[in-house]
Chains A and B, each alone.
Chain A
């Protein structure tokens, strides 16, 4: 059983097709990055999944049920949504006490969840005094009160400082890889999540463009080797004869189709001095931008 199963989901707002036939699943113990540029339909998908927005077509299930059919939703699903806010005059602890009361959870969970996200010391402070990062932590505490095994987070890194992002990554890893939770986390910045996700689902203009493991996505990008040589004019024809594709700019050769050892041997045969040979890291962000169609304009 998948923790999250989305099948042929569709939703329009007026004439805008926000989500168009999206399908994917999230398994327990894994972190799935739901990626796409702003306005791609990520938030709408997640809100359909959580019963806040009614889908036009398709299904979105958590633990094999629609969210609205879950008898005790907070004990199964923890959600952090972008447009979730807090009453500014209510304290952090009281915010969680209200949630616990409505969910039928023991009231002590409120203080415990605040401790878990590092807000224990400001439990009695009104939310109006909180920074954006503290609000994100409070939102995460809200997701944690019911000890759920499925987490759905919409752009959780927004507003967090680098230390906060680091903390969040560690926390999500702990939830998924140590406690076996299923984590679905959306982002429009691949770099924010690429270190922690096991799988990626990429969406653009409401449609799914790619899904698979992170490793699969990386291997789909072409890997090139950067070469600098004392006399590139001699080397380029030799490399091309060996079957490489060479792009030359500013004295740097970007070679694809040959590995570093072959390039070295060809240089030796041609008696050309190499001043640099380096594996170009496959630029995942580049792949992401190409896939989502944003790279074309830049």
Chain B
């Protein structure tokens, strides 16, 4: 427990955490704004609008599900939690203070859970404010269904687990820039490709991104379809599996290595 506190103190005594939080908030506001702005717009095309109208229930679910896509920011913070130790060689005093390295890794993973949770709650709070203001203004009725609850919990889980992925990537790559580039490339390039190209979707649904989408999917089709995804529960299990794999990677790469 005190190691989780020490890890959180490491984060809050440097600047990056609030920069990342600010970026996360800005990104969430942008997404909420775009979704609100284009809600119910058909663009002159016949048929249903791409984004359901602001007075509908699907619109609300879609809004709630937006937060998970900002997971890359706490993930970067997770990467830095690990790589900064090697970059600035603070790993030496960290291990001198806590020579049982598995405790250091556990402390970092615990702190990563807290970070993901805090980021998730901030994003969900913004979403709540946006929904509560927008929907009644459009004449809709606020609803919070079982599937909304699933999306909310899913969003928290996705942000938490992505932070842990970040820690694992940081432990594996250790070079700060390299690790961040790898994490961002994974989220924005590789996962984007395997979820956009139909032939690759059998692979794509098993990626962390695919599993995260399954967990927070509102059923609204934004152009990529949703039928290729795993069921929500399976998405959760797959994500948890990745988190365990990354935790194992973080441990295996950190425990034995000589610190010279």
Contact = CB atoms under 8 A, between A and B. Distances in A.
A99 B88 contact: no
A65 B9 CA distance: 30
Contacts of A47: 258-260
A123 to B, nearest CB: 13
A52 B96 contact: yes
Given A83-B260, A101-B2, A101-B6, A50 B14 contact: no
Contacts of A44: 260
A241 B2 CA distance: 78
Nearest to B15: A89
A97 B99 contact: no
Contact of B9 (A70, A97, A104): A97
Chain B: interface residue count, which band?
Answer: 20 to 34
Contact of A53 (B3, B5, B6, B258): B258
Main secondary structure of the interface of A (DSSP, over half): mixed
A67 interface: yes
A265 interface: no
A86 B96 CA distance: 14
Interface residues of A, number: 36
Interface in B95-114: 95-100, 107
B14 A90 contact: yes
A99 B97 contact: yes
Contacts of A54: 256, 258
A238 to B, nearest CB: 60
A90 B13 contact: yes
B110 to A, nearest CB: 13
A43 B258 CA distance: 13
B96 A101 contact: no
Interface string A62-99: 00000110100110010101011111111100110111
27 contacts: A43-B260, A51-B95, A52-B259, A52-B260, A53-B258, A53-B260, A54-B258, A67-B99, A68-B99, A68-B100, A73-B96, A74-B96, A81-B92, A81-B96, A84-B89, A85-B88, A85-B89, A85-B92, A86-B88, A86-B90, A98-B13, A99-B97, A101-B6, A101-B9, A102-B3, A102-B6, A102-B94
Given A84-B90, A94-B13, 4 more contacts: A51-B99, A84-B89, A87-B14, A101-B6
A-B pairs with lowest CB-CB distance, top 5: A102-B6, A94-B13, A85-B89, A101-B6, A52-B259
Interface of A: 13, 43-44, 47, 50-54, 67-68, 70, 73-74, 77, 79, 81, 83-91, 94-95, 97-99, 101-104, 142
